[in-house]
Structure 1
Amino acid sequence: MTLMKWDPWREIEDMFDRYTKAVGWPRGGQEALAPSDWTPRVDIAETETEFLIKADIPGVEKDHVKVSLENGVLTIQGERKTEKEEKDKKFHRVERFTGTFMRRFTVPENVDPEAIKAVFKDGMLHLHLPKTEKTEPKAIDIHVD
């Protein structure tokens, strides 16, 4: 038998996720909550040239993933199919979520929407959001009559 280290923070985070999903509260400030069966975990990083979003979606087929950008909101959605029940198989524990998922993120204004690239490999979705060149805000003097 393998011993596992207990992580109370992970249990608290899981409990909070289940609670906020049950009452319908959004968890993040920039993320819009959408009805779904489960929520994939993501990492968001920034370099000088791009934003990178990595989403964990193991067990999801590439054809069941859709990425879209509309009105400055990036949406990742898809579905993980339930395994077929086998009569001679008895499950002792099922922890993996199945069903539909959706995550939404507000995209910064300095992202080039035409150059967004999505790569799906080995259950990981990598979204590359290239930045546009910075535009300096300019002051405009308006004459008041």
Structure 2
Amino acid sequence: VRKDEVKVELEEGNVLRISGEWKKEEEQTTDTWHRVERKRGRFARRFRLPENVNLEEIKCSLENGLLQITVPKKETSGQQQNVRTITIG
């Protein structure tokens, strides 16, 4: 898969969407025959990201057909945030 065949998007609700289309053409020729084979397909995948990720710092790279997506966590100040005590009735 090449870079221009893949799209990485962030949708509403912290959903990371990876989609694309791959195309492959193989050609073989001998003295007596010639063959061309074309393969293509589409793909799409969605991942819901947790609330504690830093959406502004998501990075992608594509090297040798391998897509790598880095989704860093938000930095916390060491304190527990959004903790609420619930009274047992």
Q: Normalising to structure 2: TM-score of the pair? A: 0.71
One of 67, 71, 75 as aligned partner of 2:8: 67
Higher RCO (CA-CA < 8 Å; seq separation 6+): 1
Question: Following the alignment from structure 1 to structure 2, what is the Cα–Cα distance between the partners of residues 80 and 90?
Answer: 17
Cα distance, 1:136 vs. partner? 1.5
State the match for 1:27 in structure 2: none
Cα distance, 1:84 vs. partner? 6.0
1:118 to 2:63 alignment: no
State the match for 1:37 in structure 2: none
| TM alignment of 1:28-107, pairs within 5 A | 60-71=1-12, 72-83=14-25, 88-89=34-35, 98-107=40-49
Q: Normalising to structure 1: TM-score of the pair? A: 0.46
Higher helix share: 1
Question: Following the alignment from structure 1 to structure 2, what is the Cα–Cα distance between the partners of residues 130 and 81?
Answer: 32
Q: Provide runs of 4+ in structure 1 moved above 3 Å.
A: 84-87
Opposite residue 117 of structure 1, the aligned amino acid is K
Number of positions where the alignment pairs a residue of Structure 1 with one of Structure 2 = 76
Superposed CA RMSD? 2.5
Question: Following the alignment from structure 2 to structure 1, what is the Cα–Cα distance between the partners of residues 20 and 84?
Answer: 44
